[in-house]
Amino acid sequence: MDKPLPLAPLPPSRWTERLRDLLPDLGIRRPWLVVAVVALAAVAFLIQFPKVAFDNDPENMLADDEAVRVFHREIKARYSLYDFVIVGVVNDRDPDGIFNVATLGRVERLTRELLSLRPDATGRPVVTRTDAAGGAHDETLDLRPTGRWARTLATAFSQDANRLFTADGASAIVGHELIAPSVVDNIKQADLGSLKLEYLMERPPRTPEEARIIRDDARSNPLYNGTLVSEDGKAVCIYIPIVAKTYSYNVARLVEALTRDWKGDDRVLITGQPVAQDTFGVEMLMQMATSAPLAAITIFVLMYLFFRRLPLIVAPMLVAILSVIAAMGLLIGLGYKVHIMSSMIAIFLMPIAVADSIHILSEFFDSYHRFNDKAQTIRHVMRHLFMPMLYTSLTTITGFASLATTPIPPVRIFGLHVAFGVTVAWLPTMAFVPAYIMLGVSRRTLERMMAARAAVAGANEHRGRRRHPQGDGQPGGRRRGHQPHHQQRADPRGAHEGPAGPGRAQQGPPQHQPEVAQQQRQARQQLGLLLPPQHRAGPGHLGRQGGAGVSLGRQHAALQRLVGLDPG
């Protein structure tokens, strides 16, 4: 049976060969031009950032003309339905639950304060607050975050916590639809078969008996028992209708500000679908604004731990930042809003963008000792790595671009712009990284790195010789558990045939010889290239096991004196 032929990669086409030679040569011959073009491109994308707008609504994960969204809007318009922010007041420690004088008084004051919401001359919210003694006064609130970082993020994401009013200055709270004990009707039977219509809580109770009357009225009404008040009497709700759910996050912050000074056993809980959706959107953007810099810092620290060289880190980080700026700048420039999905573009792009740059720089520093010339080394590295980097980038671009086939608009936008960012990361890598090497990596840095590399290789070779003085690690060439050479079983052919020639026994265990020989050859090559002419022997000494020329030990000692490792 014939053996299958080994698979080999396809040879590069003409255009890939031209691209492989053109981009690196551009960085080598015109490094300042490449840097200038990259900087101008970054500026062109950066100037789009002030136009940014944000979309926190998870409902926009569906297209605007999706059937379910159209039907939902029709039903809300037909029946005058509003989105609600639900405020729950819980007291599970008082024997009467929330039906005590203090708790019901707080609920009534909160209701009046919400209904009195109006803007001042600067657009900030103003409410009429009532203290426990019955005195009323107007108070202007500032709902913006107090922390500097939180306020910076809110400004960057256009999150105005004081936005509680429509364009014509009306309150975002629909007052006549608000549901609370002090504004809902309570129908009771009166004398002579008549009905009495009043509010469930006409005024805050002054005595526990008045509070219990309100409790009994609420429990006896099936419309309120289990909805407005809990069946066990431990909780009461205030339903706050708003003109649009985009106001729900700010309304929730308003309630928190108005109840911040509440003391005692009352707990305030805020819920409702619009609050959950809007809060999720706002907090998601805030988390992404924090996570993206943290991801960049983490990548930087990890690369420094891996390579221990700042020149090896700067270029990948610059390429990653450029790709993020380009992707987000294109998104904003095309008029798209930054959605919850697209806010994660930076997190995806940064680890992808640094990969090719790390490959090039790592291979460059490993190969420089063979050429002692930056331009030749760059060309060698690019010929070796160009096709693998091209194929991996194309597969990554194709994978993210395939998200354009999904029916979810934010996912389509996310996939296409990440694909664009990967493309932007690949192109500057091919030209900008060579330009960075030509301009930003000095020859002195390369010489120090080569010297350190050769010293490490020589030290490793020296330790290997000490560990295996005769090739097997035991005195006299004997290994533990093995018989002496003259007592070993003879080869069926009568003798070992190897590099030493027929009829001669191999010295030392065969499994160590190839590895040791390879290490010795590499160490001799590296030491020989780094030694100055006065320490070198004649040509051809590097490839010999012995003979004329400087021995490996003398080369190592000379190199130690050269780099300062040996004070002698």
- Report the mean per-residue pLDDT for the chain: 79
**Per-residue pLDDT at 469:** 59
Q: For 485-502, write each residue's pLDDT tens digit.
A: 444 444 444 444 444 444
**Per-residue pLDDT at 11:** 62
pTM: 0.65
**Per-residue pLDDT at 511:** 46
Q: For 152-207, write each residue's pLDDT tens digit.
A: 777 766 778 899 999 899 999 999 999 999 999 988 877 777 788 889 999 999 99
Residue 87 in this model has a pLDDT that exceeds 90: yes
282 or 509, which is more confident?
Answer: 282
Average pLDDT over residues 50-71: 84
225, β-bridge pairs: 229
Q: For 337-352, write each residue's pLDDT tens digit.
A: 888 788 889 889 988 9
Residue 217 in this model has a pLDDT that exceeds 70: yes
Instruction: Answer yes or no: are the C-beta atoms of 472 and 512 closer than 8 Å.
Output: yes
Which range is most confident: 149-158, 261-270, 301-310, 356-365?
261-270
Q: For 114-161, write each residue's pLDDT tens digit.
A: 999 999 988 899 999 987 666 788 999 998 888 787 777 777 667 788
The dihedral over CA atoms of 70, 72, 75, 77, expressed in degrees to the nearest 10, equals -70
3-state DSSP call for residue 164?
A: coil
**Per-residue pLDDT at 312:** 74
3-state DSSP call for residue 130?
A: strand
DSSP at 121: T
**Per-residue pLDDT at 258:** 94
CA distance 28 to 376: 10
129, β-bridge pairs: 137
Instruction: Answer yes or no: are the C-beta atoms of 204 and 105 closer than 8 Å.
Output: yes
Q: For 515-533, write each residue's pLDDT tens digit.
A: 545 555 554 555 454 444 4
**Per-residue pLDDT at 86:** 94
Residue 401 in this model has a pLDDT that exceeds 90: yes
Give the whole-number percent of the chain exceeding pLDDT 90.
Answer: 33
The dihedral over CA atoms of 358, 362, 367, 371, expressed in degrees to the nearest 10, equals 60
Residue with tokens 């992404």: 288
For residue 563, name the pLDDT band (cuts at 50, 70, 90). very low
- Phi and psi at 242, nearest 5°, equal -130, 155
CA distance 250 to 279: 9
**Per-residue pLDDT at 270:** 92
Sort strands 338-339 and 54-55 into parallel, antiparallel or unpaired: parallel
- Amino acid found at 208: P
